[in-house]
Structure 1
Amino acid sequence: MPRFSVIVPAYKVQAYLHECLESVLSQSYPDLELIAVDDCSPDACGAIIDEFAVRDPRVRPVHLAENRGLGPARNAGMAEATGDYLLFLDSDDTLTPDALHAIADRLKETGDPDVLVYDYARTFWTGETIRNEAADRLSEDGPAPFRLADRPGLLRLLMVAWNKAYRREFVAEEGFAFPSGYYEDTPWTYPVLMTAESIATLDRVCVHYRQRRRGGILGTVSPRHFDIFEQYDRVFAYVGQNPELARWRPLLFRRMVDHLIVVFARRDRLPRRSRAAFLRKARTHYRRYHAPGVPVPARTRVHYALVRLGLHRTYHALQLTAALVRRTAKLANRLLKGLRSALLRLHYRLQRCLPVRADRAVFAAEGVRGHGCHPGALEQAFRTHVPGIRTAWIAEAEQHAAVPTGTRRLRPGTAAYWTALARSKYLVHNAELDRRLVKRPGQIVVQTRRGTPLKHMGLDLRERPAASGDTDFDELVDEVDKWDYVLSANRHSTLIWERVYPGGYTTLEYGSPRNDVFQQATSADVTRIRESLGIPEGAVVILYAPTHRDYRRTQRSPLDLHRVARRLGPRHVVLARAHHRHGGPLAATTDQVIDVTDHPSVESLCLASDALVTDYSAIMFDYANLDRPIVIHADDREAYEAARGTYFDVRSCPPGAVSRSEDELIDIFATGHWCGSRSAQLRSAFRTRFCPYDDGRAAERVVRHVVLGETGVPSVVPLGNRHPVPSPRASERRSHGRGVRV
């Protein structure tokens, strides 16, 4: 008897069926049966199902002699099911990686409840993925399992069958089945949730709900949308047969009316000539199932009144009026934005007529969440070594909390922002400044860049359309002409920057300011950071930080991090840090995998870890300063090289071990190769080449040269004399070693 029976009904979805079935069979939790029901589909669905059944014995094909619809097809699948739990998956949707493993773990934690509700995300044909807006109702806080009365908010979720796991014995005992027709999930989901003695939630996206551009059943204009009335008749009939459920009638009434309003308001559902008849029938159902004293939110009272009275023409007139109001508001908003923009341009021109302030400095950084990178380190150095200069940091309002209290906060596009750009002497950035900036005589622009370049940058991207996108290279060279100084961490960076960003600036080959903290931090700092991240004492922490893939429209992790963590054992913890252009987390947070994408400081994450796993990211050059193990995972080097290009093959001179597959990466850690002598030798050579100046005083050298005009900047501490803070694991090994010698 398998743990899960995954039921997939298929009808005219041949383009999506492969991906759907593969998402089930490739799950890391293999204890399942896949019951694929061919609902007499006229396309190749039946043949595809049979092909999968030949390939994998877990696939159980069911072929119906005639097309019966989604509900009866699911019933046919249930009749064949033998698993402990039933899961339904529409044939154009997919399970997310590790979904079944997460579901199995949560079921075990909550004592095998009757129903487990999990989350989903909508995936659009454009590549965009948006999580369910009501995900907060799936919080795992509080006691579990529970009954619906304890968390009635679950009835506010999308009423579908495929975002839940159902204990099969519970379904059989209660005799639940799907009806035919549209909206067949409605008379299934409400009775199931109301009847269940035990319910649990899983706050994790387990299903990707495909939003098809065309062809979705509910997005088709058809009189079959009138089926919704019969489906709600079934719901209220079930309540009538079970008097103990009468308490739910008011809430069910509100959900029904809300649902009817949605169907009526959508232009892609009801035929135009049937809209009046739909509203008349809605009026009948309103009066039939209305529960006296039901509270109606103020924002929906007009809609409810129109449904109650069946005023089709009035409803239509209000819709037209609302559309006109929205268009008028949009036009007014555009006019106001245009006026505001003109006033700000005038304000900026006037500010440029005033003297430049020698005691003002403005900093900004792209790709960081708040205050960080090289500009963040330089801003701190300004406050330390030239306290007479007032500093300001440019960031969006939601990032201001990460900015030090002694630093002025500026929001882009405000009058204060343009005043600062017009009158501050020092402008420090790690990418491109505002293209509308007019550099004035007396202003000094310090361009820090964002790390040692491995991938192609600047003018080298002219032959890389996948990476350059819509870059205007004429604008780029105009931007370079504004730079006075460019920071460089090493000779390699200097040679690259001066070629791909040709200009009249001065290169300061002084090291990387953001890496100063690696020489300045203490073991107490490391302990504090690990505690704040919830890392258990004695854990081996791996920081995984991949870079952006220019050849992919949507970004995804090339590694199954949960599988990696499980294979390495409970003592290992993975910190997953997505690139700032990734658009979301790399993996869901569990005991062994912690998503740290939104953590404000990548340097703190480096300090908290025992090893780094990356691919072509510049973080490897920074992390090498900690003298901790680095593993390069380069499983798509050819594709990355073709799209972006690199200045050298990192596999030929790596900072540590190199893996080319997930299993090879696991083996590197399982065997200890990641921290062996060969890895240490490679890291030493890498540090010699790329970390000659990162001794903890790079930011000070920059400030002394640029601001104080000193030519005799602090000398560099040789590599052999540097002592970066060790990781807890390294400290532990040293302690054990001293004990043995004694």
Structure 2
Amino acid sequence: MPQTAPGFTFAAGNAKKILALPGYALGALASGVIPRRRDLWVFGSGPGIGEGALALYRVVRASDPSLSLLWLARDERDLDAAEALGIPAVLKSSRQGLLATLRARVVVVTHGFGDANRYGIRGAFVVQLWHGIPLKLINLDSPATVRTRLLPDSALVRRLMRFMYRGGARAIDLMPAASAVSASRLRSAFALPADRVVVTGDPRDDVMVAGTESERTATARALLFGSLGLEPTGQRVLLYAPTWRDGEIDPGIPTADEWRRIVGVLERTDSLLVVRPHPHGVGDYADGFALSPRIRLLGAQQRTDVTPVLPAVDVLITDYSSIAFDFALTGRPILFLSPDVETYEASRGLYVPYDTFSGGAEVRDWGAVLDLVATVDEPDARARLERHSDALATAHHAFRDGENTVRVYSQIITRLKEHE
């Protein structure tokens, strides 16, 4: 079930960074005496087996069988998932995980250095794939990211955390971006030189354009319904995917009356509402699941990586999540529910005004969302929604040819040769 108590927060994450400083120092010493293997690449991803790291792993494996590739797993569940996919893996926190990171020529991550063994990063060629096109201010661009539980909030502490973020970012050798817009934000957020952030397209999104639309939809529906424990049907699929709020509860959780109204609409339209909480999100959606089998949970335990199932979705409902940029590649309707837009913009911050992201069509409660759902198939309304999805996709994706991952691999190989 979704979390009802805070999981990851910036303050907690930064506290761990400070406590890890001695380990970084020891790792730096070890990296000076342990030689790196030219044929060893290691991969990790914060949520588990998936994201762009898995896409890149597959391209590298197919492109150069002589390389030794290893996945750095979070836990036993990841080890089992890796085994099922035929991927060699070790626990990143184990002695094997540390040694593999220290010996690897290339380290691939999607969230942070902790996706690998963070103490063995120094001296490797680090590829930071990231995990979406930024809408929310991230890293150095957001004041929210420099809080810590260990020290009182002050200008000095914030400067210390910014110094640490900048120091860590200097280890990144390549950061692929989906578009020029995304590249500009990533360069700013990570204080990276322009040549380290390259517009290649996001490997995560190759699955969004592979094959024909009917093939993508059929494959994604099989994945989605299988993850939900259901047989694929012709039901219309609505996906509610809110972002996280740094330990705060999702204000978009429906009230009891709204849940009842949602069920009524789902029944009248033969639809399924899939709730995908953010892995770090806080909130309890159990009242909806208990009310109707037409409301289903797709948590991180059921499906680590949500992107491959997006072509199964007919209508996306979200707030500030970058999932909208990925889903926009389908050209299908996106509905924007933002009950806390003023406070969210003030506390976390966005790279653009929210109404630019939403097209000015955001609503504040589920009653208004359901009104939009009722009109989504009307020609004028659908055309307007699809135009906005197309506009988001055009602005934020430089490529739609399914070759993003290949371009990233090519960049890595080129840069490794330059370093020789």
Residue number in structure 2 paired with 1:497 = 186
CA gap 1:375/1:614 in 2 versus in 1, 3 angstroms: same
Q: Map of 1:389-408 to 2, 5 A cutoff?
A: 389-395=67-73, 396-403=75-82, 405-408=85-88
CA gap 1:122/1:631 in 2 versus in 1, 3 angstroms: closer
Secondary structure class of the residue paired with 2:309: helix
Distance in 2 (CA, whole Å) between partners of 1:490 and 1:344 is 33
Distance in 1 (CA, whole Å) between partners of 2:357 and 2:23 is 54
Residue number in structure 1 paired with 2:128 = 447
> Structure 1, residues 363-420: CA drift from partner, whole Å, max 9, x if none?
1112x2x211121211122112222222212222222222253322121321111111
> Structure 1, residues 689-712: CA drift from partner, whole Å, max 9, x if none?
11222421100111012125699x
TM-score after normalising by structure 1: 0.46
Indicate yes or no: 2:361 matched with 1:671: no
User: Which deviates the most, 344-353 or 528-537?
Assistant: 344-353
Secondary structure class of the residue paired with 2:336: strand
- Which amino acid in the other structure matches residue 410 of structure 1? V
Kept in 2, the 8 Å contact 1:546–1:577? The answer is yes
Kept in 1, the 8 Å contact 2:3–2:281? The answer is no
Distance in 2 (CA, whole Å) between partners of 1:469 and 1:701 is 37
Secondary structure class of the residue paired with 1:645: coil
Residue number in structure 1 paired with 2:91 = 411
- Which amino acid in the other structure matches residue 165 of structure 2? L
Over the aligned positions, Cα root-mean-square deviation in angstroms equals: 3.2
In structure 1, runs of 5+ residues without a counterpart are 1-120, 130-341, 712-742
1:568 pairs with 265, 275, 286, which one?
Answer: 265
> Structure 1, residues 440-460: CA drift from partner, whole Å, max 9, x if none?
2xx211111221111111212
Q: Map of 1:639-658 to 2, 5 A cutoff?
A: 639-654=343-358, 657-658=361-362
Q: CA offset at residue 491 of structure 1?
A: 1.2
1:705 pairs with 398, 411, 420, which one?
Answer: 411
Q: CA offset at residue 349 of structure 1?
A: 5.4
Indicate yes or no: 2:60 matched with 1:382: yes
Kept in 1, the 8 Å contact 2:242–2:250? The answer is no
Residue number in structure 2 paired with 1:510 = 200
Distance in 2 (CA, whole Å) between partners of 1:344 and 1:453 is 28
Residue number in structure 2 paired with 1:338 = none
Kept in 2, the 8 Å contact 1:489–1:690? The answer is yes
1:680 pairs with 386, 390, 409, which one?
Answer: 386
> Structure 1, residues 407-444: CA drift from partner, whole Å, max 9, x if none?
2212132111111111101111122214533512xx21
Secondary structure class of the residue paired with 1:658: coil
Distance in 1 (CA, whole Å) between partners of 2:167 and 2:415 is 27
Kept in 1, the 8 Å contact 2:337–2:364? The answer is yes
Residue number in structure 2 paired with 1:559 = 254
2:119 pairs with 433, 436, 448, which one?
Answer: 436
Secondary structure class of the residue paired with 1:484: strand
> Structure 1, residues 584-619: CA drift from partner, whole Å, max 9, x if none?
663453411110012222023313221211100011
Secondary structure class of the residue paired with 2:389: helix
Indicate yes or no: 2:285 matched with 1:586: yes
Distance in 2 (CA, whole Å) between partners of 1:553 and 1:477 is 27
- Which amino acid in the other structure matches residue 479 of structure 1? G
User: Which deviates the most, 647-656 or 387-396?
Assistant: 647-656
Kept in 1, the 8 Å contact 2:201–2:397? The answer is yes
- Which amino acid in the other structure matches residue 572 of structure 1? S
Residue number in structure 2 paired with 1:353 = 33
Residue number in structure 2 paired with 1:548 = 244
Indicate yes or no: 2:231 matched with 1:538: no
Secondary structure class of the residue paired with 2:362: strand
Secondary structure class of the residue paired with 2:113: coil
CA gap 1:607/1:491 in 2 versus in 1, 3 angstroms: same
Distance in 2 (CA, whole Å) between partners of 1:575 and 1:656 is 25
In structure 2, runs of 5+ residues without a counterpart are 8-21, 150-157
CA gap 1:461/1:652 in 2 versus in 1, 3 angstroms: closer
Over the matched positions of the two proteins, sequence identity in percent amounts to 25
- Which amino acid in the other structure matches residue 565 of structure 1? I
CA gap 1:449/1:438 in 2 versus in 1, 3 angstroms: closer
Of structures 1 and 2, the one with the larger relative CO (CA 8 A, separation 6+) is: 2
Kept in 1, the 8 Å contact 2:59–2:406? The answer is yes
User: Which deviates the most, 573-582 or 470-479?
Assistant: 470-479
- Which amino acid in the other structure matches residue 382 of structure 2? G
Larger radius of gyration: 1
TM-score after normalising by structure 2: 0.79
Distance in 2 (CA, whole Å) between partners of 1:502 and 1:350 is 27
